[in-house]
A = this chain, B = another copy of it.
């Protein structure tokens, strides 16, 4: 009997897993029996934009947290697939910071070429998974989200690639239950048009707070107040934008901050991150971690320590994205097929611990980028995923962070060079601050 592999989620990570098997098949390997479950009606995960918030048109939690006017926040040269370049897809240089639709087109383009769509059950949510220690089999219960029809599957190997930027982390604040304005989490933000002229309070001090805040600035918000827990972002913000320590309580439309100041607000956007949430997995199989570069319990960040038939892709916080998911998927594939041997539990534990120790000592963002670079390198060295100059990518990350601190509204206007093709990105036809049309059509044709 051939290997039975279940893959949960057809976002960039699940698509990478399909591509990994397909790449081996193209070289003559046997294809396992694969079923990939995707609760949405199309692939792409976060990149598959939907206007729905909260609960979607099928009565499922809306997955994507992306929004209109979302541009890549890192240079595309840092996430380029080494087996499918931007040059191959677009046939000419494009700028370094494409909008969502353009990156969706890129990731879809690769898997369309490899005829893997047939493995995916769309509109199908995984509801529950059991593992039988005796038979070493997973039993998986899935359900068609439109018809309710349920099915039971048995797998030898299971890949969890459901992402971890979808279930919002929503803290409580005194008095927020009677704040009369709109209160939403970044997960449910779909565009800042309606915040023109409004006084916005954003809670959180990471990517979402920064990007949604600056989109609101573009769309004419009256003021943007960014409230942090650990520390301010400290960018050179436009004059409408201030940073304040954490909200202590709300009273009507007033928010009080830890430094004793207060302000009046029309709307609150919680940019307080996401939960690792696996409502289909028993707790002994589920990652339970904050959003970090190296969650514990995963050998090489991929193989579940207590059950090496279980794999996670993309469970990390992400400097690297698409190419890291590839490296993980190639690694997971080779573990599944036995090409990569599993060391003993003790050796795995020691390896995990050494990564956790290194992570605990990381001094700054530059060190974090190097850390993830080393991680990706180790995976790539273990498989036949096409190598590329990872040190050059790490340098790109550092340039990008420097650009951000120099000009938070201008860093997306910079051009970077592909480490794979050597192609220099185009300087885009429109500066980000002036770009009010985020379509692929407008991006490509000006």
Contact = CB atoms under 8 A, between A and B. Distances in A.
Interface of A: 50-57, 59-62, 68, 125, 127-128, 130, 141, 143-144, 147-150, 167-172, 176-185, 187-188, 191, 193-194, 266, 275, 277-283, 286, 288
A127 B125 contact: no
Nearest to A193: B180
Contacts of A169: 59
Contacts of A282: 141, 143, 150
Contacts of A128: 127-128, 141
B170 A55 contact: yes
A147 B51 contact: no
The A contact surface, by secondary structure, is loop
Given A55-B170, A143-B283, A182-B182, 20 more contacts: A50-B177, A51-B178, A53-B188, A54-B54, A54-B62, A54-B168, A54-B185, A55-B185, A56-B170, A59-B168, A59-B277, A59-B279, A127-B127, A127-B279, A127-B280, A141-B282, A143-B279, A143-B282, A180-B193, A181-B194
Contacts of A279: 59-60, 125, 127, 143
Contact of A54 (B149, B150, B188, B288): B188
Given A128-B127, A128-B128, A279-B125, A288 B148 contact: yes
A167 B55 contact: yes
B168 A55 contact: yes
Contacts of A55: 54, 61, 167-168, 170, 185, 187
Most chain B CB within a 10 A radius of its CB, from A167, A169, A170, A286: A170
A141 B277 CA distance: 16
A168 B60 CA distance: 10
A255 to B, nearest CB: 15
A57 B194 contact: no
A82 to B, nearest CB: 34
28 contacts: A50-B177, A51-B177, A51-B178, A52-B170, A53-B54, A53-B184, A54-B61, A54-B168, A54-B185, A54-B187, A55-B167, A55-B168, A55-B170, A55-B185, A56-B170, A57-B170, A59-B275, A59-B277, A60-B279, A68-B178, A127-B127, A127-B279, A148-B278, A148-B288, A150-B281, A150-B283, A181-B194, A182-B194
B54 A148 contact: no
Contacts of A130: 141
Contacts of A56: 170
Report the 6 A-B pairs with minimum CB-CB distance, sorted nearest first.
A54-B54, A128-B128, A180-B193, A51-B177, A148-B283, A150-B282
Most chain B CB within a 10 A radius of its CB, from A148, A150, A282: A148
Contacts of A177: 50-51
Contact of A59 (B50, B141, B167, B283): B167
Contacts of A183: 51, 53
